[in-house]
Structure 1
Amino acid sequence: MAVKAGTPVAPEDIALIRDWFARLAEHVRAVDFAPARALFAEDFIAFGTHTDFMNGRDNAEANQWRRVWPTIDGFTWRLDGVQAVVSPDRLHATGMAVWDSTGYREDGSPFDRLGRATVTFARETIGDPWVATHTHMSLFRGTPEVSHGRKPSRS
């Protein structure tokens, strides 16, 4: 049997992956870090526009989330376009999605802040919510790397 990335994904698995992305977007828009932590394994590995590899949820929150979330508005995933590859045992998956948001230049003028993400997920039992074990989030080419908005955090 040849390995294929396009193996059909169970509808309930892709629904739970979309749900993960939707819940993360809610926390980003609310600048609410505390409840977002439950979406990520404590020892997950991340990297993105602002940081190299980071080990651990606390490290990612301090060096990625807190640098970005308070500076942007309207963070939304394009949920209809989410793609996924799920392992045959349905306990590991990779989800890919594109986001839209608004960033702000130093003078306060807005710009489209678009990007994409690859997220690896794991869970202990089929049907459980997915938990991120790795994230790679990056801006589309030509998008300013820094947003200068300032919103207070909820947590």
Structure 2
Amino acid sequence: MPVQATAPTDPEDLALVRDWFRQLAEHVRAVDFAPARVLFAEDFIAFGTYTDLVPGRDNAEQNQWRKVWPTIDGFTWRLDNVRAVVSPDRLHATGMAVWDSTGYHPDGTSFDRPGRATVAFARERVGEPWVATHTHMSLFRGTPDVSHGKKPSRS
């Protein structure tokens, strides 16, 4: 069978990919780091704004999440447009999504802060929630790369 990036995806698998993105957005909006950790493998690898490669969930939390989440508002994925490519054994997937958020200039004025992500997922058994093993998130061109909001974190 030829490899196809647009091969049909099991609706359950796509729903669980969308659910992962939905859950992450809830944690980002709440600035709640502790419950977000279960969405990521402990040794996941991210591409980051502040560090080229960010190995490990704890490192990503300290050097990425805690520098971004408290500074933005309204982080929401465009869930209807989430795409996924799932392996034939349904244990690995790649999810792609676009987000919207609000960032803040140093003077407190707001700006639109849209971006996109590619997330590699894995799981041990079909039907289990997806866990991110790699993330690559980037802002759309022309979007300021630093936001200056200041919200307290829950955890």
After superposition, the C-alpha distances for 1:3-55 in whole angstroms (9 at most, x for unaligned) are 11011000000000000000000000000000000000000000133321111
After superposition, the C-alpha distances for 1:94-139 in whole angstroms (9 at most, x for unaligned) are 0000000000000000000000000000000000000000000000
- Distance, in Å, in 2 between the alignment partners of 1:74 and 1:11 is 27
Q: State yes or no: 1:33 paired with 2:38.
A: no
Relative to the length of structure 2, the TM-score reads: 0.99
- Distance, in Å, in 1 between the alignment partners of 2:2 and 2:30 is 44
Sequence identity of aligned pairs in percent? 81
Q: What does residue 138 of structure 1 align with?
A: 138
CA contact (8 A) 2:48 2:54 kept: no
Whichever residue aligns with residue 142 of structure 1, its letter is G
SS of aligned partner of 2:23: helix
Whichever residue aligns with residue 93 of structure 1, its letter is A
- Distance, in Å, in 2 between the alignment partners of 1:16 and 1:42 is 20
Please, which runs of 5 or more residues in structure 1 have no aligned partner?
Answer: none
Kindly report structure 1 stretches of 4+ aligned residues shifted beyond 2 Å. Answer: 48-51
SS of aligned partner of 1:146: coil
Tell me how many residue pairs correspond in the alignment.
155
Please, which runs of 5 or more residues in structure 2 have no aligned partner?
Answer: none
CA contact (8 A) 1:29 1:74 kept: yes
| Superposition RMSD in Å | 0.6
Q: What does residue 129 of structure 2 align with?
A: 129
Map residues 2-151 of structure 1 onto 2, 5 A cutoff: 2-151=2-151
